[in-house]
Structure formats: structure tokens, C-alpha cells
Amino acid sequence: MMRAAAIGLVCAMFNSVNGYAEMVVQACFSPQTKCSVHILREIDLAKRELLVAVYAFTHDELANALVRAKNRGVTVQVVIDREFDAVNERSKGKYFDAQKIPLRRLSGLRSATFDKENGLMHQKFAVIDRRVLFTGSYNWTHSADSSNDENLLLFRDAGPLAEEYRKAFLNLWERKF
């Protein structure tokens, strides 16, 4: 009995020493709460890598936070929807280009069964330092904060889950325009 308790204690210490922690999940609903506050906090804490895939990106503060992260040495990459960026004058695509933030403008995949235009790149997620994940209906827009009914989930210490989203991001990034 004592040996099992000692092994359990050693395993717990090993996990905490190696940075393994239990995943924490937090939900945010707008417009009741400004979800951008949570995103800004995590961007400011980013140390190595920040991958963002969102359909619409018009939020000035979030865009500026990505630039600050890039300027302090964080690798920042952004994927946005090509059509939204082309028709919305508030889209941050040109701003990211000017700030030298690596950016891909993508359309959704063509359907093999329908003869129609490309769909939307409708993803809405971000992966920070391979351990923090944001996902939900929340686009990175002022409307998402102030007038739309949106949801945003924040997962901290989410290594395996964050890695799945990171792979999805990299697949988007490598897709041909």
C-alpha cells in the first residue's frame, strides 16, 4: 500500500516537473463578455509560436497584439478567408502584409460532387505554443465582441488537443491558394 502511494507521488511529481498539467477549459460568450480580453492575454503570454486561422479578422487590438508578438520573436502565422478579405475594407489582410506577418488567404475546398464556386475558409481557431487552444464560433472581429452571439472555448495545458489543431493549421497553410 505504501509502495503504491509512493509510486503515485513520484508520478505526480514527474508530471508536474515536466510541465504536464491537467487541461483547463474556459468558456466565453459574447456579447455578454468581451472574449477578446482572453485572447489578448494569451497572445501577450506567447513565447514561441502563434498560429491563427479565422474566417474574418477585423479586430484592431487583436491584430496589434499579433504584431507585438512577432516583434518580440514569436513565430506568427495567420490564415484568413480569401473572399472575406477581398470584399471587406476592415479586414486585416493588408495590415498583416504591411507588418510582414506571414499570411495565407484561402478559399474552402472545392466540392467533388457539386459544380460551384469554392466554399469558405470558415475555421476559427488559434494555437499558442503548442499548449493553448482557442476555438468556437468567435471570429476575430469587433462585431463578435460587441453585437454577435458568439462562443469561444479556451483550452490551457491542452498539448495533444492543441497538436491536432496545429496539424489542421499546417494543412491549411500548405494548401495551394
Which amino acids are annotated catalytic? 122, 124, 129
Grid cell in block for residue 37: 480580453
Cell of 175: 494548401
Rg (CA), the chain: 19
Task: Classify the phi-psi angles of 37: left when phi > 0, otherwise alpha if psi is within -120 to 50, otherwise beta.
Answer: alpha
List the alpha helices (DSSP H) in 99-158: 142-146
Helix (H) or strand (E) holding 126: strand 124-128
Q: Phi then psi for 47, rounded to 5 degrees?
A: -115, -35
